Amino acid sequence: MGGLKVAIVGAGIGGLTAAIALHRRGIEVAVYEKASELRELGAGVAIGANGAKVYAGLGLLDSIARIAGKLTTVSGETWDGRALPGYQWPYPVERTYPLHRAEFQSLLASALPPGTVRFGHECERVVEDDDGVRIDFVGGARARADVLIGADGIHSVIQPLVSERSEPVSEGIMAYRGLIPADRAGVSDRLDSMAMWLGPGQSFLTYPVSDGALLNIVAFVPTDLDVEESWSAPGDVAALAAAYDGWDERVQRVIAAMDTTFRWGIYDRKPLQGWSTDRITLLGDSAHAVTPHLGQGANQAVEDSATLAIMLENACAADIPVRLHRYEDLRIERNRQVREGAREAGQLYRATGLPPARQAERIVAIFDRLELATYDAERVASDALAEPKNYIPPLSEGIPPPPVTVTVAGG
């Protein structure tokens, strides 16, 4: 292993992917997760072409493909079942990997050396100094590292260490989520297709996961409630059915096959002014949470992971401040554009009075503008690292001086 030691707080998709990318580049890494084990989240996640490029480089794409749902079609339709003219999924179907989130996290964790992921470690205090970072955990355990990466999600405890606290912002939308076994009556014809139905004020999405053993459902509806950003808040199947009364019979057939559902509040976060100090940085939702309407939450965390690993490869301790700020500069505008695109896509999915052909045209234009099928985070980072060594990146405004001692939870 190389000289650097990196600590990651959070064992979600972004934290685990970053750990793998760093380990592959010879950097010693440990992941600290406050939960006692990886939780069984009944939710799907789709890895698209931009994320798939990273996993191919890490040698994991074949393993991912084995547990992914197998798609032959991706469709956009109106609420009453008419094809959305001109709608085109941004990725080749064969480069779209719909996954069960818990299975995916387990696969990523298994790609790391035993002991890399350390459960039951809840971050309580962080002390940053010229020699690195000390992390104190609830219960008295401590760790030191040269770099601390906050990958602890939209409610990050690390985020306030690097910039003014930024609270999640509701989109005024919630989602019902659920998983249906493949042998359940009425859904067998949906197990090779990702389908989105668009209607006034709401939308409905299905895709297969678990190698076709389950169908994942996400139904977006308006809400004026402060629904917790969670995959485990119980929902009401009868209320879900009532919300889609009169929709395409395929939508109603899927809902009829559901026994349970969960509610998920839809939030993102306004762009941060910056997300790095000299020794601490952020990744994924802790830095730039986005709404799910482009399927880019996980994929942006994967892009972050590849970028950060390349920036830290072969770095010595003295290089860390410049490398972290270069990482931030490479990612911050990209993430801002994706956040805006996701918000715009959600509004288009639920638009009223917009002709379907125009609706599809504008959705496809977002995909193209963000280069979701072609963006190569590793190439972008490698090109940046090849710039002259005396390059000093512009520091984002609003970054405070590195904290000396900060309590982040508990005492």
Greatest CA separation found in the chain? 64
Q: Of these residues, 207, 244, 267, 349, which one is catalytic? A: 207
- Residue 287: what residue type? A
Written as six digits, the tokens of 382 are 């490698």
Cβ pair 191, 69 in contact under 8 A:
yes
Is 207 catalytic? The answer is: yes
Cβ pair 254, 208 in contact under 8 A:
no
- Cβ neighbors of 363 (< 8 A, separation 6 or more) are 76, 87, 345, 348, 349
> Tokens 């889609």 correspond to what residue?
244
Cβ pair 25, 75 in contact under 8 A:
no
Give catalytic residues, as residue numbers: 207
